[in-house]
Amino acid sequence: MTSSSDILLVTTDGPVATLTMNRPAKRNAMCDELLDALEAFFAAPLEGVKAVILTGTAGHYCSGLDLSEHVSRDAEGTMRHSRNWHRVMDIIQFSGLPVVSAMFGAVIGGGLELATSTHVRIAEPSTIFQLPEGMRGIFVGGGATVRVGRIIGADRMCEMMLTGRKYNAEEGLALGLTHYTVGEGEAMALAQKLAGKIANNASLSNYMMIQAISRISDMSKSDGLFAESLCAAVSQTSADAEEGLKSFLEKRRPVFR
C-alpha cells in the first residue's frame, strides 16, 4: 500500500509503515508542512500498523529546521513554534508505535532532535550528527536539551553546541546517538528487519516499553520501582502474556493479538 504527498511519502508492508521525508532540495529540512504531516500520521496511525520506519531521501535523513522559516518569526512566534515541536516530538515518541530511524547524511539540528524522539536508530557511514545552532547565533528549540542531552550528557552537548562539532556514525554509536552502524545503503534493510521483529511483539508490551521506560528514568528510585511493578502487573496478566507462556511450552512462535 502506498499513500504519498509531496512532502511525506507513506508506504506500508504488512504491519510496518515506512515514512520518507521528501524535501530533497532542502536536505529534508523541517518545515511546518512536514511537521504537520508527521503529526497527522502519528496522531491517527493507519489501521494494522504496529511499527514504523522513518527515513529521508536523496542522501539525507533531515538537516533540521528550515532557517528561511526561522528568521521570519518574532520572539513570541519562535517560542510558540518551539513548543509545537516539543508537542509533535512527544507524539512521535509516545504514540505507542515503535519507530526505527534509518539514517544517512545529515542528521543535524532539528533532524537530530527528531531522530532522538524515535526508539531505534541505525546509521550508515555517511551519517553526520551535529548541533550547529551556536554557529548561527541561535539555540536548540525542538527538544535537544532533553533528548540529546540525556543521551550524551549535558557537558558533552554543551561542547558539541559551542564548537559545532560533528560526530560520524561510529562516534555516534559510542555516544548512543545511534544503536547500530551499517554499510552504505544498508540502513533500510536492517530497519525493515528490526521493524518486522518489533511488530511481532505483543502490542501491549511494546506500548508499555515506549510509555514507561523514559518516564521511569525521570522518577525517583522508589517511584520508578512502583511504576515498574504496575507495568509488570498489567502486562503479565494479559492475554498476550498467556499466549507467550503457552507458545514457549509448546515450542512454537507466539501469535499475539
Set 76, 113, 159, 228: catalytic member? 113
Distance CA 207, CA 187 (A): 24
**Residue 191 CB contacts under 8 Å (≥ 6 apart), including other chains:** 53, 55, 100, 101, 102, 120, 122
State whether residue 164 is helix, strand or coil: coil
| Side chain identity at residue 2, one-letter code | T
Q: First and final CA of the chain: distance in angstroms?
A: 22
Distance CA 32, CA 147 (A): 21
Set 124, 133, 159, 228: catalytic member? 133
Distance CA 8, CA 18 (A): 10
For the record, the C-alpha cell of 175 comes out as 555516544
For the record, the C-alpha cell of 119 comes out as 526508539
In the annotation, is 186 catalytic? no
3-state helix, strand, coil in the chain (%, to 5): 50, 15, 30
Active site residues: 113, 133
